[in-house]
Amino acid sequence: MIVTITLNGKKITEDVAPDLPLLDFVRNHGCKSAKRGCDSANCGLCTVFCDDKPILSCSFLAVRADGRKITTLEGLQKEAAEFGAFIADQGAEQCGFCNPGMIMNAIALFRENPDPSDEEIKAYLAGNLCRCSGYEGQMRGIKAFIAHRKAKEVNDATGQ
């Protein structure tokens, strides 16, 4: 089936198989940040945005993305780099395999809820598994990032 998908701002028109997962579609187009970490819709490594909502691209057909806007980490470089530095600062990455999916979902969280409580962070990121057990470090990194953003907002407002 011929579909037109806007991937990271670029319109792609292509003939895709009806059972091709969106994950394979984005990877075929060079967006290798999205990964397949499980076969049970549980790990969150394949997280991308479909019309700005985070979804599991392993479980979504590329044909269903026809006419929609898909964003991967490659399309969010600036936001991802700024936040990712706080995660790295906490040594919260060991193998780093879970990192792109977690960053995508954390960005979705900050857009929906700029000042989340610890419980809200845990609830939102519950579907992002890390097999190296980086959750404590991730939490510290996320909180440091939020504190940094708040301080920056205050500084911007007071002109410092």
Ligand X SMILES: Cc1cc2nc3c(=O)[nH]c(=O)nc-3n(C[C@H](O)[C@H](O)[C@H](O)COP(=O)(O)OP(=O)(O)OC[C@H]3O[C@@H](n4cnc5c(N)ncnc54)[C@H](O)[C@@H]3O)c2cc1C
Enumerate the β-bridge partners of residue 4.
Answer: 13
**Interface stretch with ligand FES, choices 10-18, 24-32, 40-48, 109-117 (CB under 6 A):** 40-48
By a kind-dependent CB cut-off of 5 to 8 A, residue 24 interacts, out of ligand FES, ligand X, another protein, none, with none
Q: What's the DSSP call for residue 61?
A: B
Distance of closest approach, residue 28 Cβ to another protein, in angstroms: 18
Give, in degrees to the nearest 5, the angle at Cα 27 between 24 and 59.
Answer: 35
Label the pairing between strands 69-71 and 53-56: unpaired
How many CB atoms are closer than 10 A to CB 130? Answer: 24
By a kind-dependent CB cut-off of 5 to 8 A, residue 130 interacts, out of ligand FES, ligand X, another protein, none, with ligand FES
Examine residue 124 and tell whether it contacts another protein (CB under 8 A).
yes
Binding to ligand X (CB under 6 A) within 25-44 occurs at 40-42
